[in-house]
Structures are given as C-alpha cells and as structure tokens.
C-alpha cells in the first residue's frame, strides 16, 4: 500500500465520519420532526418539540450538505453516478428537505391553526422522507445497480443501455425488498435518536410520550439489526481483488460475486465483528438507561449505537461504494473512484484542522443553550411566545 492508497482509505473514513456526524446530530432533529405529530398534540406541545431542536437544526443539517460536498470532493465519480443514477430518489429527498427550513422558520409566524398544522406535517414529511430514501439508497448499495461507463470518454450510463436513461422508471427499480428494509431501518434509527434527544430536553406530557417512543424504537432496532445481518447471508455479495493502480484503470476491477459475500470481510478480519456487536450492546444500553431515567446516558448510548451501526454498513461494503451488477468490473470502489493525491491531501488537511474547531464552537453553542439544565416546557413557550419558533 503506497501513500495514495492510505489517502484513499482516509478519504473513505472521512466520508463515513461526516455521514455519522450527520446521523448523530441531524438524526435527532430529523427524529424530532418524525415524532412531532405523534408525541405533541396541542399547539404549545408542538412548539415545545419544534423549539427543542429549533436553535440547532440548521447547523446540524449542514452535516448532510457537507457529506454531499465530501463525496463530491473525495469521490467525484460516486457523486456523479449516485446523484444522476438515483435521479428522482435524490430529488425527492431534496424536495422534502425544502420543507424543513420554512417549516421551522414560518410555522409560528401566523396565528392560524391550519397554517401551523400544515407546517408541522411539512416538517414531518421533510424529516421522514429523506430518512427513508437515504436508507433505501444505502440498502440498494448491497444489491448493486445497473450501470456502465463508455470506455473512451468515461461517460456514466445508468440502466442497461448506453443511452439517456428513463429516470422515473429507475426510481421504482430502487424499491427492492432489502432497500426498503434498510429505509425503514433508517427511519427507526432517526426516531430513536430524536426520542433520546427530546427525552433530555422536554418535560411534561410530551416527555412521557417520548420515552415510550425511545424504548420501543430501541427494541425494534435491535431486532431489525439482527434481521438485516442475517438477510445479508442470502444476498449475493461482491468481492474485489486489491489493485493499487485502480485509479488509472477504473473499469478493470477483478470482481467476484458470491452468496453472502458481504460477510467475507468479517470472516477475513474477525475484529470487525466487534463493531456490530458493540452496536447491539449500545442498543441494549439505550433501553437500560431509559428505564433508569438516565436520559443523558441513554442519548450517549443511542449515539454510540448509530456510530457502530453505520460503521457496520461501511465495513460490510468495504472497499465497494457502488457495485455495478451489469458490469461488476466497472464497480465503483474506494480505489478507483477517488480524487487525485493533491485533492485528497488538501481536503483531509482542512478536515483535520476544522473538525476540532467545529466541535469547539458547536459545544459552546449547546452549552449556552442547555448548559444550565433547562427544559423546554409548555410554560416556557407561553412566556416567550413572540421570540420562539
């Protein structure tokens, strides 16, 4: 392994880290958005939920944008292939995301209940649909896609022909059982993270409902995670023989396909099995701490669970990013899809410098907002009605 391969590996870790950071932070306000219509009934209760994530949703959502940017910069080919290949799936994510900023900012700017209820449901859709569809896309990574490249120009073609694709039909092609399963799985993940965050921050009736959601989702996730793993045994998985010069020969991977192939990484490197195991243990702790009313610890456990679960997905796929089922030798892996050495160094240096700074000022903001152990309550909403969302 030379320097370039190390950089490619670090690039893979960086994309994974940004995705995990999105799931941890964006996760709780997407989760809060999904839970909103169900854990809060009256307008004041809804404002409790909205204002709990209100001051920080925007910063958290930037992790999603940064994830997109990181994929663009670190794996330009993956960015091009996924956004154009999953055309309508990604546009649906985008259109649903449209609803979030305006729902937060506009819902309480008019007194009408119909108006507010409309934006509450918009927030629900804007949180639910992206979580579901991003999950569906990730699930499909395990199944592979029909795509190929023109060998001379390296133009990307989705579908089985080298021609303009019918993107609307391709959307339905993504609705395969395992894809849908991972989609639902992601929604439950967001719900657990959202409930765990709200459990720390709110009081009153909303709190009671939120804890219930937290316990149910943690248990459900535990079961679904095991099912997802077992399911992989029955799915043909891809394996690739390492080629250090893959970047310059992007269409000539040596790829093989075998039943349960996605689990070979665990067989070859036993230590990786620790990651899903830690994920399962974390899920148990979410439930355990929630029973004991230790909500900060439950939130930390939930965050750990997400960290290990998403890492599990990454380690199972490694080194694949997007396998091609029609032309497996053209599959996108971390070694043929990456940027050049100078770009990778540039982006990684910026990340190493910036991440501690971001953690520092984000920590400052959270400390100022919640550091004195405040809870968001109906009473607080009523007393600061004009300044809150």
Q: Indicate which single residue of 2, 163, 270, 373 sits in contact with another protein (rule: CB under 8 A).
A: 163
> 317-322: which pairs have CB atoms within 8 A and are 24 or more residues apart?
317/141, 317/142, 317/262, 318/12, 318/265, 319/12, 319/240, 319/242, 320/141, 320/238, 320/240, 321/75, 321/78, 321/141, 322/78, 322/81, 322/82, 322/85, 322/141, 322/144, 322/145, 322/147
Q: Which stretch binds another protein (CB under 8 A): 234-242, 294-302, 316-324, 354-362?
A: 354-362
Which residue stretch of 137-145, 156-164, 229-237, 298-306 sits at the interface with another protein (rule: CB under 8 A)?
A: 156-164
Contact in structure between 224 and 244 (CB atoms under 8 Å): no
Q: Which residue, 249 or 256, has its beta carbon nearer to another protein?
A: 249
Q: Which is nearer to another protein, 167 or 205 (CB)?
A: 167
- The answer to the question of residue 324 lying near another protein (CB under 8 A) is no
Within positions 246 to 265, which residues make up the interface with another protein, using CB under 8 A? 247-250
* Nearer to another protein among residue 260 and residue 363 (C-beta): 363
Instruction: Identify the CA nearest to 275 among candidates 56, 16, 40.
Output: 16
| Smaller CB separation from another protein, 168 or 270 | 168
Q: Is 79 in the site for another protein (CB under 8 A)?
A: yes
Q: How far apart are CA 156 and CA 132, in angstroms?
A: 26
Does 107 help bind another protein (rule: CB under 8 A)?
no
- Distance in angstroms between the alpha carbons of the first and the last residue of the chain: 53
Return the bridge partners of 149, or none: 156
46 counts as binding another protein under rule CB under 8 A = no
350 near another protein, rule: CB under 8 A:
yes
Closer CB to another protein, 156 or 181, in the complex: 156
Q: Evaluate whether 253 touches 336 at the Cβ level (below 8 Å).
A: yes
Q: Which of 63, 33, 366 is nearest to 195 (CA)?
A: 33
CB of 321 to another protein, least distance (A): 13
d(CA 124, CA 122): 5
73 binds another protein (CB under 8 A): yes
Q: Which of residues 197-226 bind another protein (CB under 8 A)?
A: none
Q: Find the part of the chain contacting another protein (CB under 8 A) among 81-89, 172-180, 214-222, 275-283.
A: 81-89
Nearer to another protein, 51 or 253 (CB): 51
Stretch that binds another protein, among 264-272, 287-295, 306-314, 337-345 (CB under 8 A): 337-345
The stretch near another protein (CB under 8 A) out of 90-98, 132-140, 297-305, 315-323 is 90-98
Buried-exposed string 239-270: b where 16+ CB fall within 10 A, e elsewhere: bbeebeebbeebbebebeeeeebbbebbeeee
Measured from the CB atom, is 249 or 259 closer to another protein? 249
């Amino acid at each position: 392994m030379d320097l370039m391969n190390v950089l490619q590996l670090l690039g893979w870790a960086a994309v994974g880290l940004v995705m995990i950071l999105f799931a941890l932070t964006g996760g709780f306000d997407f989760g809060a958005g999904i839970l909103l219509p169900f854990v809060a009934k009256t307008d004041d209760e809804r404002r409790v939920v909205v204002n709990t994530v209100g001051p920080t949703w925007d910063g958290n959502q930037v992790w999603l944008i940064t994830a997109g940017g990181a994929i663009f910069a670190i794996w330009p080919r993956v960015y091009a292939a996924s956004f154009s290949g999953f055309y309508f799936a990604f546009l649906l994510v985008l259109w649903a995301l449209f609803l979030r900023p305006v729902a937060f900012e506009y819902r309480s700017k008019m007194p009408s209940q119909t108006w507010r209820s409309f934006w509450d449901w918009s927030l629900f859709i804007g949180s639910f649909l992206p979580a579901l569809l991003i999950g569906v896309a990730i699930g499909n990574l395990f199944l592979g896609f029909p795509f190929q490249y023109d060998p001379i120009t390296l133009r990307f073609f989705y579908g089985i022909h080298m021609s303009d694709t019918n993107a609307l039909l391709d959307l339905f092609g993504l609705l395969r059982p395992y894809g849908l399963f991972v989609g639902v799985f992601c929604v439950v993940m967001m719900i657990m993270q959202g409930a765990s965050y709200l459990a720390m921050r709110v009081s009153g009736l909303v709190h009671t409902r939120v804890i219930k959601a937290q316990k149910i989702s943690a248990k459900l996730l535990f079961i679904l995670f095991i099912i997802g793993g077992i399911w992989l045994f029955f799915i043909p998985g891809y394996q690739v023989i390492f080629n250090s010069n893959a970047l310059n020969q992007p269409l000539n991977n040596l790829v093989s396909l075998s039943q349960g192939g996605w689990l070979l990484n665990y067989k070859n490197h036993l230590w990786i099995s620790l990651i899903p195991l830690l994920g399962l243990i974390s899920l148990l702790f979410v439930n355990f701490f929630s029973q004991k009313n230790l909500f900060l610890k439950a939130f930390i456990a939930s965050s750990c669970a997400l960290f290990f679960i998403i890492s599990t997905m990454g380690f199972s796929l490694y080194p694949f990013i997007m396998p091609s089922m029609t032309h497996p030798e053209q599959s996108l892996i971390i070694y043929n899809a990456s940027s050049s050495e100078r770009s990778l160094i540039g982006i990684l240096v910026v990340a190493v410098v910036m991440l501690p700074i971001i953690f520092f000022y984000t920590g400052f903001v959270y400390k100022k907002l919640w550091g004195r152990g405040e809870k968001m309550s109906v009473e607080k909403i009523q007393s600061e009605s004009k300044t809150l969302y």
